[in-house]
Structure 1
Amino acid sequence: MENINVKYVAVIMIWLVVNTGGPASAAITCGSVLTSISPCISYVQRGGVVPTSCCDGVKALNDKTRATPDLQAACTCLKALIPSVGANAALVNGLPAKCHVDLPYQYSPSLDCSKLTR
């Protein structure tokens, strides 16, 4: 349990850093990204059954990123959050299909979020 608390603190710290430097025109924040994906954290760490609340969050996040600046901002947040929680990249990249959501990118540490468009 203590290990999970440390990871959440790390996520919040990264959120504070990333949230201060996203695209100025984006309406989405790292806080809203974190809120949307927090039910997915245990799944992307260990696998198993994807919680319904996780898919609901993934769908909601996708709906919030219809404009290019929001998509880029969410991508930037996710790119910082994913490694901070010890997520498995294969589980992360399989999540959209499991939740029946079509995302225009897959996570990788080298992903250039500034090149994403809607």
Structure 2
Amino acid sequence: MAGIIRPMCIVLIAAILAAAISPLGEATIGYYTVVTYLTTCRPYLTNKGSLGNCCNGVKGLYRIAKTTQDRQSVCGTLKYLVGSYKGIHLNKAAGLPRQCGVNIPYKISPSTDCSKYVHVLVT
């Protein structure tokens, strides 16, 4: 039980911080939304399972990220997640969009500068 509480607290704190720093009236896709869409990807990204339903989440997240601010928010969250979660294989994370048939103009990596690559999504 204690092993579940800590990650939930981290997600809650991150969601509160994301909401607090977002300008009012500007819709953004927050941390919790990204995590929800990509929950099924964790086993694949940590070599503990197959790709499974992961691509459904990747494609769904791609579809809802319509504005530049949404794309920057998703990019920043992905950057944070792959850099902070232990056991994530960076090569698998970077290749995830291609694996799922989604073309994004940046590499999912802890070193990505999201401000440079998110203005135009390539379909």
TM-score (norm 1): 0.79
Q: Which residue in 2 is equivalent to 1:28?
A: 29
Q: Does 1:73 align with 2:73?
A: yes
Instruction: Output one character per residue of 1:51-98: Cα deviation in whole Å (capped at 9) or x when no partner.
Output: 12x110000001111221110011111111122222111000111111
Q: Aligned equivalents of 1:80 and 1:103: distance in 2? A: 17
Superposition CA RMSD, Å: 2.5
Q: Which runs of 5+ in 2 are unaligned?
A: none
> Larger relative CO (CA 8 A, sep 6+): 1 or 2?
1
Bigger mean CA deviation after superposition, 101-110 or 18-27: 18-27
Q: Which residue in 1 is equivalent to 2:100?
A: 99
Bigger mean CA deviation after superposition, 55-64 or 15-24: 15-24
Q: Which residue in 1 is equivalent to 2:64?
A: 64
Q: Which has the larger radius of gyration?
A: 2
Q: Which residue in 1 is equivalent to 2:119?
A: 117
Q: Aligned equivalents of 2:15 and 2:35: distance in 1? A: 8
Q: Aligned equivalents of 1:101 and 1:92: distance in 2? A: 13
Structure 2 residue matching 1:104: 3-state secondary structure:
coil
Q: Which runs of 5+ in 1 are unaligned?
A: none
Q: Offset of 1:113 from its aligned partner?
A: 1.1
Instruction: Kindly tell me the number of residue pairs found equivalent between the two proteins.
Output: 117
Q: Aligned equivalents of 2:69 and 2:10: distance in 1? A: 25
Contact 1:43 1:49 in 2 (8 A): yes
